[in-house]
Structure 1
């Protein structure tokens, strides 16, 4: 096997990462443009509200992208181990054997 499948998968992941970053960047630019337009068309206290909302939206979107990207990278690198399947839940654990235990008697 020549590893072509690995290179293809790696290339797909790289394209997804760049596409996601492009979408986040364009979204941030759109929010910034809307905030600039809003600030130029409103009064003082309303401008603060527009800027605060824009900053919150940009921060949330950018943080979400990088958080999801980091979690995806960690899962793909083998950091996440699958859990072993459990046995049937219908059988209760065995009770300890009374043999060999000291008992108090009369």
Structure 2
């Protein structure tokens, strides 16, 4: 149960970090466009960079989350999964004096 709670916290705070970062990027882009007062080529560059940053960050988060979920599902449903502890080494044969 504790592992499930940990995953929920990771997902919640990871998504929150991505959303806040995206909002910060959008805010800086809006402020930059507002301050440029009509220089179209620079505005296009600022908006392109902002769009690229937002889409890259969101895609990376979703991709990492999908791979993590898939790996967890495979690990939980694997019937051949073994105990992670290694077997004990064999006992040494008795010595003859």
TM-score range, shorter chain: 0.7 to 0.9
Aligned residues: CA RMSD: 1.8
Task: Give 1:45 deviation, angstroms.
Answer: 1.0
Tell me which structure has the larger Cα radius of gyration: 1
CA distance in 1, matches of 2:49, 2:20: 17
- Number of the residue aligned with 1:68: 64
- Number of the residue aligned with 1:24: 18
Deviations 1:62-83 (A, max 9, x none): 000000000000000016x7xx
Task: Give 1:44 deviation, angstroms.
Answer: 1.3
How many residue pairs get aligned? The number is 76
Structure 1, gaps ≥5 residues long? 1-6, 82-106
